[in-house]
Amino acid sequence: EVEELKRELPVTIHRPSVVCGDSRTGEAAKYDGVYYLINYLRMQPALLSLVNIGNREVRLNVVPIDFVVEAMATLAGDERAAGKTVQLADPAPLTTHELFEVIAQSLAGRSSRITVPAPLVRTSLNFPISESLSGLPRVAVPYFFLDQTYDTINAENLLGPHGVRCPPFASYVDALIDFVARHPKL
């Protein structure tokens, strides 16, 4: 139905990936997605950062809210965007293993020493007790094990001339962590 309307009306469909806080201030409206890893590591950064529970095969595409807002505002004024679906996503997303490493480096100043096999992590996260131990709700577990792919070609072609690009996660992870430290409960 939306695809039909898109052909008749000058609309742009925006499809952001997993949205996190502002890349400059870290400000967020809720903690989910990548915040599960941040809060997990914040429990005991020196200890938990040693054992990476991320998956080397699955990418978690994270974008900061300020990128999404700027992209949508820019596209609203660009006639070339009419009738297009634009996936607002990181063109080079990190695996959950890499996300874990970047967060661990920021929180504990070091990388992990051991990587737990993904099937073992998945099984253990589905135990009822794991939610209270890890802070990861069982309903969120699939996000860390289902590979998601976003086609960012339209976004890159439309936003590139305006200088709008998704920043790399490593460039704003400290802002996210600082905000969580100042506001542990949202």
Q: What residues are paired with 28 via a beta bridge?
A: none
Per-residue pLDDT tens over the stretch 92-128 = 999 999 999 999 999 999 999 999 999 999 999 989 8
Per-residue pLDDT tens over the stretch 162-182 = 999 999 999 999 999 999 999
Supply 70's token pair. 């700027």
d(CA 36, CA 42): 10
Confidence of residue 6 (pLDDT cuts 50, 70, 90): low
The one-letter amino acid code at 96 reads: T
CATH architecture of 2-178: 3-Layer(aba) Sandwich (3.40)
Mean pLDDT rounded to a whole number for the chain: 93
Per-residue pLDDT tens over the stretch 66-75 = 999 999 999 9
Coil vs helix vs strand at 142: helix
**Residue 173, phi then psi, degrees to nearest 5:** -60, -40
Q: What residues are paired with 179 via a beta bridge?
A: none
Confidence of residue 80 (pLDDT cuts 50, 70, 90): very high
Are 87 and 81 in contact by the 8 Å Cβ rule? The answer is no
